[in-house]
Amino acid sequence: MSSSKMSPPVSLRPLTQAEFGPWIARAAEAFAAGMGPARGLDPATALETAHQEVAKLLPDGRDTENHLLWLAIHDGVPVGSLWISTEKPIPFIFMIEVLEEQRGKGYGRSIMLAGEEECRRRGCEYLSLNVFGNNTTAISLYDSLGYQVTAQQMRKPL
């Protein structure tokens, strides 16, 4: 199955300062939505925690060293975003976002492939990420792109 047939092409460009404020708010909300249930936090605490953790990761905002914050564009229209840290020996995807009105069109795959190509261009041999266990859509996408589980955290309600 050809990934280009299923994925409309996107280009990546750095977020502008004007785009960064709304983006970081969405990043914290998305992180809170996954992290809150995983950590057993109520929504308000999860959102507060997410804002704190994102702020620690990006102390200099969009200009934080070793963090690539991109807007994904298709035919001149923003369709999502991608945040990759290059701090570790293996780059790490902190967030991939497909804007709500653009979901279901194959942009998640396109954004991932564009990010992989950018990392390859920078000489990286691997790209890693974390996904919460309840995010079955993302897990399916990552599986289809060839990502493999390297660690697994488990929990049982008592």
Question: What would the pLDDT profile of 62-110 be if each residue is shown by its tens digit?
Answer: 999 999 999 999 999 999 999 999 987 899 999 999 999 999 999 999 9
Give the C-alpha separation, 72 to 85, whole Å: 17
Judge whether 13 and 71 are in contact, CB under 8 Å. yes
Percentage of the chain surpassing pLDDT 90?
82
Pairing of the two strands 67-74 and 77-85: antiparallel
Identify the three-state secondary structure at position 90. Answer: coil
Q: What is the pTM of this model?
A: 0.89
Phi/psi region, residue 136 (left: phi>0; alpha: psi -120 to 50; beta: rest), is: alpha
